[in-house]
């Protein structure tokens, strides 16, 4: 899977100072995510309000996955190492972060006057258009087609700036898609269940098709990468099977969120379990 206990690609010496510096981005990003969430929890508890331990655990897991993707243990010079980063940053970590409901935590901990600007942003048309599940799918999955079918991948190997911007895109686009599909956080004018499921299935199919395309054209894709065909084939397999696992987790999250919001209310209605069942059925 392209994981090796070696310094991260894109330059760097083997001395202790350089090796320690390579761990710095991972540690800083993880620490910032965890610290921000814990500050929100402290403010909430200071107001005498509780918070779900499962949400906390989910967000902390997401922060750890983000940090793991950025560690030197993931050799980003290999195709499989790059693909592991894509899966961690763009699919698995966003699901865990979104299920931690950080926006709900923020709103709950803010004073009433400070909530209004945040609520206004959530209701704004630009955010509505950006966070629509179809838009989020294009940004998340469509960005992968742009990356692997154009010279952008080769550029990310040569440029540190592009390489880090790519990581940021993976994380933000993945978070936006997970939030649009299954996030427990408020999302005004979120499409109905049917639309979100349809887009999720379509996005999963597009992701799997791209993985198959990379596998079948491993000798020429990604263009200019310099990877051996066998290396790209292994990365494509990781992309295919890892993507299916992430889609399954997101599907479970969709139905879990639906049940919390709708299923429990239906279950509390008298006779709901037997509605439509003939007598003696």
What are the residue ranges of helices labelled H in 47-92?
Answer: 53-69, 79-87
Q: What confidence tier does 15 reach under pLDDT thresholds 50, 70, 90? A: low
pTM, to two decimals? 0.85
Place of tokens 């902390």: 60
- Burial (CB < 10 A; 0-12, 13-18, 19+), residue 37, is buried
Return left, alpha or beta for 276; rule: phi > 0 is left, psi -120 to 50 is alpha, else beta. left
pLDDT at 274: 43
Q: Please report, in angstroms and rounded to a whole number, the separation of the first and last CA atoms in the chain.
A: 53
Using a pLDDT cut of 70, give the percent of the chain over it: 86
pLDDT at 99: 95
**Each residue's pLDDT tens digit, 210-245:** 999 999 999 999 988 899 999 999 999 999 999 999
Q: Residue 263: count other Cβ atoms within 10 Å of its Cβ.
A: 14
**Each residue's pLDDT tens digit, 31-80:** 999 999 999 999 888 877 889 999 999 999 999 999 999 998 888 889 99
């Amino acid at each position: 899977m392209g994981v090796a206990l070696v310094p991260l690609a894109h330059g760097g010496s083997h001395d202790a100072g350089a090796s320690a510096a390579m761990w710095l981005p991972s540690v800083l990003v993880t620490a910032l995510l965890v610290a921000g969430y814990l500050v929100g929890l402290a403010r909430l508890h200071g107001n005498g309000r509780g918070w779900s331990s499962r949400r906390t655990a989910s967000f902390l897991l997401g922060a750890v996955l983000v940090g793991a993707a950025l560690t030197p243990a993931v050799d980003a010079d290999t195709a499989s190492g790059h693909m592991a980063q894509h899966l961690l940053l763009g699919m698995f970590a966003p699901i865990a972060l979104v299920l931690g409901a950080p926006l709900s935590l923020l709103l709950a901990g803010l004073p009433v006057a400070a909530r209004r600007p945040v609520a206004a942003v959530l209701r704004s048309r630009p955010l509505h258009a950006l966070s629509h599940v179809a838009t989020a799918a294009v940004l998340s999955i469509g960005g992968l087609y742009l990356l692997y079918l154009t010279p952008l991948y080769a550029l990310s190997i040569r440029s540190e700036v592009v390489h880090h911007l790519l990581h940021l895109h993976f994380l933000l686009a993945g978070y936006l898609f997970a939030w649009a599909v299954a996030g427990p956080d408020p999302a005004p004018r979120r499409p109905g269940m049917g639309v979100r499921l349809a887009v999720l299935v379509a996005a999963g199919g597009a992701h799997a098709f791209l993985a198959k395309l990379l596998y079948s054209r491993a000798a020429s894709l990604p263009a200019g990468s310099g990877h051996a065909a066998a290396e790209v084939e292994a990365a494509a397999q990781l992309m295919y099977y890892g993507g299916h696992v992430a889609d399954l987790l997101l599907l479970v999250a969709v139905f879990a969120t639906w049940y919390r919001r709708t299923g429990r209310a239906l279950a509390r209605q008298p006779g709901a379990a037997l509605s439509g069942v003939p007598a003696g059925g």
